[in-house]
Amino acid sequence: MAREHHLHDDAAQHYQQALNISAITSGDYSRISEKLAGAFTFGRNPSAVTPLYDRALTMYLDSPATRTKAGRILLDKATQLWRDSQTEAALDVISQAIHIAKTEGESHFLIHANLMMVEFLQDLSRCDDAEPFLLAAGDVENTGDPLQQALYYRSKGIANAKGGNASEAYRYFELAVQKAKETNEVRTLVGIWIAYAMEAEGLGNNQLTKTCFERALFVARRYHYIWRIPFLCLVYANTLSRMGRYHSAYEYLLTALSYDLDIPVMDETIAEVGIPLSLHMNDKETLARCARPQAIHLALQSGEPRRFGPVVTAFARLYASEGRENEARSLLHRAVNAASYVEPVWDLPIAVAQYGVPADIPKMRTFLEKKASIPSLEVARACLSLFDALVARRSRATRESYQHAKTAMERFNALGWLGYVDLTGSLFPDAAKIPVHTMDPAPLADIHMQLTVRERQVVELVLKGMTNREMAGTLSITERTIEAHMTSIMRHLGLRSRHQIVERLQQASAE
């Protein structure tokens, strides 16, 4: 009954009590263990499932009658290894399942195992290695069941996204979502929404990323998918930060931290999202909770560039802010050497350009240059401009760094990546005077050209008569930041008060 009401931790407690009954038969023990494993997977402590899988495999692998069952448990174990930051180690486990499926002649299970291998290889950015397994899955579109079709469409969506084919990527992901809904498999549906969001992020589509994460979070909350809820709060906070909505992002970060879960993938994500956001909000207490040193080892251990790139970057920026430049440089060098396969983890190349070993700069630029040549990857072109600006600044090429930074800000602004606009503006203040794409430049063009993107947003709200507190809430930033923007606006316009700002803009508008 607890399971039917999605009370997974309660269900796990009752299943555990059932297993402790001395008179239980071996058949019932196996059956209840599987149910306990399912409850753990959705609950607060999914890592507790590992001994159950190991015990079941010891029993099932020895009997020809249960070898296929062992193969299915191997796939579940692979998923647990992902949660435990051991994605590369999971490949051997999936290979065992594929071998069992071939040996036992289980064609249906073989398709599923091949599709799971594709998923993990794509997570590791080994897309070329994944292609043979996708072909081995066969004509899933016409012969597979809805679950297999959902996994197949997910893989096709990822492949197209990485190739810059946005329209096809989105089409496949929509098909994957549709098929996942037919299966009533909550884990699959949430996983597909997350993959959809991450690939939309790689394509620079902030709004779609935000929508997909919102839908994943809705499903996780509806079905009490407990550990996924704080995870999704974190990745959603990351999206909001990228959009410049820091206050809202911060609230989601605090929500995630309130769960206090001990899961390796959560340690990574807390560090990735929490460190830069805490630094931005100047919250030392939250920063201390997010800067978990074990996250570095866990992320690198996973082998996934998309996991270790952001974690290493977050710690490098923390170290640099503390004056520990050598540690930042060494950590970034370690990540660059670990990145055998490239992935759109945009922060890593930018951090290398800013703090890294000079010898690593050409490799990171080649990566960005390659991505920038792919259609639909405007975000790569924006990051390449910022990368070149930082490298030029290190070489003391002031004019060149200014031009690259100005181009970066224009591109980030067009994408709606206002967090990166703010970052570039903070690094290159003189390049922050760019045209606003969302405002009519006439008749205030001369004034607007003197202001940054954020300053122009503040000006719009000043004209609406908002107070500093109201503006802070609207823009999801602090009142102190609003005050700083107001000071900057008045300095640029040669004014001394808010009242003069209104008069000046109204006069310009009348002209």
Measuring CA to CA, which residue among 12, 72, 19, 20 is closest to residue 47?
12
The confidence score (pLDDT) of residue 23 equals 84
How many whole angstroms separate alpha carbon 78 and alpha carbon 98?
12
How many whole angstroms separate alpha carbon 238 and alpha carbon 226?
20
State phi, psi for 84 to the nearest 5 degrees: -90, 15
CB 44 within 8 A of CB 227: yes
CB 159 within 8 A of CB 122: yes
pTM, entire model? 0.82
All domains in the chain, ordered by first residue: 154-225 (1.25.40), 435-510 (1.10.10.10)
The confidence score (pLDDT) of residue 338 equals 85
The confidence score (pLDDT) of residue 249 equals 92
CB 245 within 8 A of CB 214: no
The confidence score (pLDDT) of residue 95 equals 97
Q: Which tokens belong to 28?
A: 């019932």
- Chain mean position to CA 268: 11
The confidence score (pLDDT) of residue 506 equals 61
Residue segments in the chain with a per-residue pLDDT below the cut of 50: 434-445
CB 219 within 8 A of CB 186: yes
CB 211 within 8 A of CB 202: no
Task: Dump pLDDT digits (tens) for 154-187.
Answer: 999 999 998 889 999 999 999 999 999 999 899 9
Torsion of CA 249, 250, 251, 257, to 10 degrees: 110
CB 300 within 8 A of CB 335: yes
The confidence score (pLDDT) of residue 438 equals 42
Provide the angle, in degrees to the nearest 10, between the axes of the packed helices 87-104 and 294-302: 40
CB 271 within 8 A of CB 315: yes
CB 291 within 8 A of CB 299: no
CB 272 within 8 A of CB 238: yes
The confidence score (pLDDT) of residue 176 equals 97
